[in-house]
Amino acid sequence: MTETTTQGGMQSVISPELPSTLGGNASQPDAATLFGNSVAQAGQFTPGGVQTAVATGQQRLTSNPDGKPCATCDQSLAYSLAFDVKDANGKMCGAGMYYTVKYEKSGEVYQGQTDENGLTERYFAADASEKIYLYLGHRTTADAYPADRSQPDDATDEAPLASDTVAPTTEKKIHNATTTRLWKPWGASQTYKNLIENAEGREPRQYKSVEGGNDTIGIGHKITDAEIANNRFTQGYWAQPLDDAKMNELLEEDIHKNGGKDIDDSVFVPLHPYEVDAILDLGFNGGPGALAANAASLFTHNGAANPRGTNRQRLSDLLNRGRYSLVPEYFRTHYNTANRQWVAGVQNRRDMDARMFSGDTTNGYTLLQNHTSRNPSHTDP
């Protein structure tokens, strides 16, 4: 894609290094592929069967070699433990939340997804003193399995989310865990919407786009060829001039198209609202598919060219491993280009996304001009 500069100076670009088989709109597997080959394998069950299913252990599948499915657990063992997970609003993290458990003594590692009631599988042990740790996401051996949150990255990752000692299986013990983040559905905060409006403006009638091409209308909505062909903004519900409600509706549509749908389809761990905003901004500015694309870092944070294939990974993979602490650096070093060249203005946008994701209450939603074409050195804290 080529560089475009929208009204308000916020650039809309995307130029990651992508494998030939993966475009910016990489398709996502369906729920059956993600959670198992059938509903039964996915371990879902009706509320009325909760106690029985939790007592015996759900039959889930996982393809990650670092974690085994609990279907391999010996369910005849005398002790066991299950977890349920609530978000910061007290709502159960429903079907499909990724998690990992690790046994303290045996070292066993299992991965799974919560059911619609926010319950993990039940994990069994022969030793009454066995302790089990619960982590958000499908962590790998490289991510490690900390026993406490004494390190800053582990505190950011809420790792571990919870831990407890097993109890006699007949007790059907369930440990109640709570994350400080929120479960789905997610949406853009008003703070983020205000950021977009301040950059793009609010225009009830279409106007010439400063970067050329099709006209723009509303809050930075670039009119598409299809919309021109079907006269979307010249008749009927969307006839100009647009009122505030319609411009707001159009912005929500753009946010959903450029990132909102991708988050729902690709992310299976809870998120803070400001983390959602940062991911949305990458999609809104970088283009649809940025969340799930297997992109490499073409340039460093300060504009030096990287070797081909540097740090190739998906943002969604980092999130789904529960490695929130690694995401800000991803923002700083990916999607910072236009026409495959490092651009200071785009780097400033990615730096803002990194601050936003980190919860910076001072400059998280401010586009600082720390990089310029003449002086790419970085001064951002």
Same domain, 121 and 221: no
Same domain, 133 and 111: yes
Same domain, 191 and 340: yes
Question: What pLDDT score does 221 carry?
Answer: 92
Question: What pLDDT score does 377 carry?
Answer: 52
CATH of the domain at 10: 1.10.530.40
What is the domain range of residue 58? 31-178
Rounded-to-integer distance, Cα 63 and Cα 203, Å = 49
Question: What pLDDT score does 14 carry?
Answer: 35
Could you tell me if residue 213 is left (phi over 0), alpha (psi between -120 and 50 degrees) or otherwise beta? left
Question: What pLDDT score does 302 carry?
Answer: 87
Is residue 371 a part of any domain in this protein?
Answer: no
Question: What pLDDT score does 211 carry?
Answer: 73
Same domain, 55 and 106: yes
Same domain, 269 and 148: no
Q: What is the DSSP string of 73-127?
A: S-TTSSEEEEEEEE-TTS-B--TT-EEEEEETTT--EEEEE--TTSB---EEES-
Question: What pLDDT score does 24 carry?
Answer: 26
Tokens 């007290």, residue? 90
Per-10-residue mean pLDDT, the chain, length 381: 37 36 28 28 28 37 48 78 96 94 93 91 93 97 97 98 96 96 95 91 92 90 95 96 97 88 92 96 80 88 90 94 97 88 90 97 93 57 42
Same domain, 122 and 188: no
Is residue 364 a part of any domain in this protein?
Answer: no
Question: What pLDDT score does 20 carry?
Answer: 27
Is residue 188 a part of any domain in this protein?
Answer: yes
CATH of the domain at 97: 2.60.40
Cβ count near 377 (within 10 Å)? 9
Rounded-to-integer distance, Cα 171 and Cα 150, Å = 32
Report the domain count for the chain: 2
- Tell me which of 136, 154, 178 is where a domain ends: 178
Question: What pLDDT score does 373 carry?
Answer: 67
pTM reported for the whole predicted model: 0.79
Is residue 369 a part of any domain in this protein?
Answer: no
Same domain, 263 and 149: no
Contacts of residue 202, Cβ cutoff 8 Å, sequence gap at least 6: 218, 219, 244, 247
